[in-house]
Structure 1
């Protein structure tokens, strides 16, 4: 009978990968790549470009493993590198623009209960202007605060709030259009 270890020695695997053990690096990549591709895909519409950015970010993960302090989640550490690499990529491509708009409306309810599939929701998020989408992802999906987003993106906190408000409004309008279309009321 073969015994299968249900608990990986993550710290040992990280240590081996930091010492350029290719097998350990492959194990880390295999374990985290599917989820990290999803993270990159949130920011970059084109799947092939998102995959390229993810691979570049994994190179940074492997070169920076010696800096991982084993405080907090390893997956969270990788995720942060992925997000930062996506932001860097979009900046270089000059695909992100932010309207310096300090006007925003505080949302009282944010739940979209529409019966939409995950793919439909992703399509709606993809249709957002780049700045709206980036702030929406950072705030709603990644859980960053507006002050952190403002620092990451080099914008004011008010602009971050405004971008989120506009993104939510656009998404709600699109969901309502879809509902009306499905109900035949449009």
Structure 2
């Protein structure tokens, strides 16, 4: 049995893609497009618009591939480009309104994944106002810290915290409604 070094194979494909090898670019696109569409879909409700943004972001990936320094995960590098492209798209559409509210409360969710389907959770997140949704995704899903989110979005760190707090409160209210609905008590 031959052991294949997958990381080395990926490095070789990346190098070929840097040299504008269309087959290598297609291979990278095929490998990562489903995951990256999911990332874009977290920020953009309409699947067709999310796909358009993903394709635009992949063009940036291929254009900037020579700048990938192999210091971290290639998938993480692509993901960051996707997130930034989603934020840019939403900014251009002027869909985001951030409430300058410095009050926030730390709250946590308890195992909502086990109680609801991914589609249910995505439906609830889609129901958030765009500012809440963007901060929630950046914090809870992407793992950015409030300082990083504030810098990315051009807002105060306190605004990021309050947007997250408001998003969590809205989600908790929606989760309670969904639980009641699923239990037949509403």
Q: Same fold (TM over 0.5)?
A: yes
Root mean square deviation of aligned Cα: 1.6
> What are the Cα deviations for residues 71-104 of structure 1, in whole angstroms up to 9, with x where unaligned?
0000000000000000000000001110011010
Q: Which runs of 5+ in 2 are unaligned?
A: none
Aligned residues: 184
CA distance in structure 2 between the aligned counterparts of 1:154 and 1:111, rounded to whole angstroms: 31
Note the C-alpha offset of 1:4: 9.4
Q: Which runs of 5+ in 1 are unaligned?
A: none
Equivalent in the alignment of 2:174: 174
- Shift >3 Å, 4+ stretches: 3-6
> What are the Cα deviations for residues 47-81 of structure 1, in whole angstroms up to 9, with x where unaligned?
00000000000000000001000100000000000
Equivalent in the alignment of 2:49: 49
Bigger helix fraction:
2
Equivalent in the alignment of 1:102: 102
Corresponding position: 1:149 with 2:149? yes
SS of match in other structure, 1:98? coil
Note the C-alpha offset of 1:11: 1.0
Alignment check: 8 A CA contact 1:138 1:144 kept: yes
Note the C-alpha offset of 1:5: 5.0
1:1-186 counterparts in 2 under 5 A? 7=6, 9-107=9-107, 109-113=108-112, 115-186=115-186
* Superposition TM-score, scaled by structure 1 size: 0.94
